[in-house]
Amino acid sequence: MTEISTVAYQVMWNRLISVVEEQAQALVRTAFSTSVREAGDLSAGVYNATGAMLAQAVTGTPGHVNAMADAVGHFMRRIGVGTMQPGDVYITNDPWEGTGHKHDITIVTPSFHQGALIGFFACTAHVTDIGGRGFGADAGDVHEEGLYIPIMRFAEAGEVNETLLSIIRGNVREPDQLVGDIYALANCNEIGHRRLVEMMEEFDLADLSGISDFILTNSRKATLERINALTPGTADGHMRIDGYAQPIDLRVRLTIEKDRILSDWTGTSPVDKKGINVPLVYTKAYACYALKCAIAPEIPNNAASLAPFEITAPEGTIVNAVWPAPVALRHVIGHMVPDTVYAALDQLLPGVVPAEGAGCLCNFQVSLRPRMDAPAPDDAVRAEVLTFNSGGSGARPSLDGMNATAFPSGVMTMPVEATEQVGPVLIWRKELRPDSGGAGAHRGGLGQHMEVGAREGHEFDFQAMFDRVHHPARGRRGGADGAPTTIARSDGAAMQGKGKQFVPHGAKVVMAFPGGAGYGAPSDRDKHAVIRDLALGYISAEIARDTYGLTEAEITETQARAKTGETF
């Protein structure tokens, strides 16, 4: 075979990225769970024969794909490379060898070409139910959090393990949905494999060694150039968040050195009694993501571009929880890792990172059933409904924060129609929350108002997974804090930010999700931006006057123009 040019290798690199994106889109189109189809809570990637990640799909979450970067090595070790054969498909939901909790199913498929193992495809998706207590923070250890699937064969030489499927079906509340998701995961890997083989035949490749070396060598070189262009230094970051029953302190020491950036989480709060703990693989995923966004965002994610970011944390801290700690809601803490990293990085690279945002997703799960306090109608049913929602992201050094947008996870807010379609749940209200974005030269993104109930004849348990109730997002460089999370029942009963809570027939859960914080002094905000915010309803007249200094005449004129439908 003739020598392959740099241009040809670059074309192949781009092709691999498109291959894994098609892999991810196949999963979106075929998955049963709304968390995958509507929210995009998934990841997909291709790996070389040594288990190094070569490319990841654009669709998906950094918590999944960066954690999954380590997972393939565990599969190779547990299964044994010498025993692998075409038609094999492997599975796990191990929190420490997968992506952080049991509600993520990871599927790995070996890819063979001309009889030789050339690499692997892997994908992960969040499933609605895995048994146990259900998706929530209430467990005392990981055994209560659902069915455990060790790394094992889902299919061997094309034959599906029906015994495993029977065990899965017998231990979960939504068996058809979960089994459908597993088949969708396996199918998307197969599609990735087919497209890879097509590319290899087009370029007359016997294996991936050449393109693998090209990708990893150039990615590492480019990342190191970015790091070595920075001024070396050390800074500490700290964030206090709600936790479960008591506040959690996240502490990081960030050090920029030649050829690497160190992130040391010594001093962080210890493991919690409840299921908000984070396996180190998930902490690494979001710490790397935060640094890469700030320092080398244009370099595609792969094993080499992630390697210079070194993450350490003492065992027994909440960001390095070891078995059998409960970890179901590891995202509630894990999604706060980037803002903690940015608290330190802002001292080393002023004017680069955003203010704090909502951080963790504003998710909740509703377990519906026929009412027990009176006869229920014949059409009342049991159902598990998981919905993904977002608060506002933090303002950036030169831009406002994004409204109702998940950072760092990137998971999409789910449409009301999709949520109501899968069970007898009713979304009575879902709209932006005025005045929730922190004031600043650049305003924080807005959170949302939501009201949730059930159809006639149903009661439900509400599994809350919120933070920022007591510790809202903090402003940066003179910006104001974002608004905190609030939650209560429509009948006046108090509710907690985390945990399973009963909601009787006829009652609703009334929530306000947090806003992102502001960046820079509010007095420096452009007046036209303030007028536009007022016209769009993002801020009230009181904030426009008292915080940003608009006159009564300007407020009155803006409100009058807005009523006519004028564009601002």
> Based on the domain organization, do 103 and 69 belong to the same domain?
yes
pTM of the model: 0.94
pLDDT of res. 446: 98
Residue with tokens 């907690």: 496
Q: Rounded CA gap, 374 and 457, in Å? A: 9
User: In this structure, is residue 343 part of a structural domain?
Assistant: no
Torsion angle, alpha carbons of 297, 303, 306, 307, to 10: -150
Residue ending a domain, among 199, 220, 241, is 220
Burial of residue 153, with CB atoms counted within 10 A of its CB: 0-12 exposed, 13-18 middle, 19 or more buried: middle
Instruction: Report, as ranges of residue numbers, the positions in the chain whose pLDDT lies below 70.
Output: 1-2
Q: Are 491 and 541 part of one and the same domain? A: no
Identity of the amino acid at 254: L
What pLDDT was estimated at residue 64? Answer: 85
Statement to judge: residues 432 and 567 lie in one domain: no
Q: Let me know whether 471 and 551 are in one domain.
A: no
> Which residue in this structure is represented by tokens 């303002």?
395
Token reading at 229: 């262009």
Say what the pLDDT of residue 1 is: 43
Query: Residue 566: its pLDDT value, please?
Result: 82
Same domain for 73 and 185? yes
Q: Within a domain: residue 11?
A: yes
At residue 567, the pLDDT reads: 80
Show which of 523, 545, 560 is a domain's final residue: 523
CA dist 142 and 275 (Å) reads 8
Same structural domain, 568 and 503? no
Measured N-to-C along each axis, helices 209-228 and 6-30 cross at an angle, to the nearest 10 degrees, of 100
Q: Is residue 309 part of a domain?
A: no
What is the pLDDT, as a whole number, of residue 2?
56
pLDDT at 515 (0 to 100): 98
Same domain (yes/no): 416, 433: yes
What is the DSSP annotation of 156-223?
A: ETTEE-HHHHHHHHTT-S-HHHHHHHHHHHHHHHHHHHHHHHHHHHHTT-SSSHHHHHHHHHHHHHHH
Contacts of 172 by beta carbon, 8 Å cutoff, 6+ apart: 129, 130, 131, 146, 147, 178
- CA 73 from chain centre, in angstroms, equals 22
Q: Which of 262, 255, 258, 253 is nearest to 233 (CA)?
A: 255
At residue 459, the pLDDT reads 97
Residue 49 is assigned to a structural domain of this protein = yes
Q: Is 395 in the same domain as 503?
A: yes
Question: Are both 536 and 508 inside the same structural domain?
Answer: no
Assigned token pair, 497: 């930010």
β-strands 104-113, 248-257: how paired?
Answer: unpaired
Give the bridge partners for 234, in sequence order.
Answer: 255
447 and 568 together in one domain? no
If one counts the domains in the chain, the total is 3
CA distance 480 to 474: 7
Residue 235 forms part of a structural domain: no
> Is 198 a member of any domain?
yes
Among candidates 507, 508, 533, 509, which has minimal Cα distance to 440?
Answer: 533
| Structure confidence at residue 62 (pLDDT) | 84
> Same structural domain for residues 62 and 167?
yes
Q: Kindly state whether residue 293 falls inside one of the protein's structural domains.
A: no
Q: In 3-state terms, what secondary structure has residue 306?
A: helix
Domain range enclosing 159: 6-220
- The last residue of a domain, from among 488, 507, 523: 523
Same domain (yes/no): 496, 568: no
Residue 530 lies in a domain: yes
